Amino acid sequence: MWSQRRVVDDGLATRGLVHDPRPPGEMCDAQPYLLHAARHFGEPTERLCPVCGRRNVTNVTYVYGDARGRHAGQAKATSDLVEMDHDDDEIRVYVVEVCQGCSWNHMTVSLVLGNGPPDLVGRE
């Protein structure tokens, strides 16, 4: 996306969780709504679940922002983000990977899109 900014990749945190000594059952706690969103709105990946290793994880993309109104917090397809990127002032995007087999889930990336003012943090 042309306006992508404030990108936070949580890949390192994901790897840390996978090596957590807790039993997998404590890490595999996806809520029914998240599993439903993964099933109906998620985008399949080629990455195996890092916990069970039996199924590929599905990415679920959520969008938030003042311009979203009552639609804030809905799961969206990545293709929908292009239009929102041009139409909205600022939207926050969160991508969660979900294993529909064991219910493991973790936010993988967050970012900001939209045609609002550019970030001035760190610029002089």
Q: Give the model confidence (pLDDT) of 69-117 as tens digits.
A: 777 888 988 888 877 777 767 888 899 999 999 999 989 989 888 776 5
* Residue 65 vs residues 30, 59, 92, 101: alpha-carbon distances, Å: 24, 20, 6, 31
Closest Cα to residue 119, out of 1, 2, 3? 3
Average per-residue pLDDT for the chain: 78
| Global pTM value | 0.74
Q: For position 123, what pLDDT does the model report?
A: 45
Domains of the chain: which residue ranges?
5-113
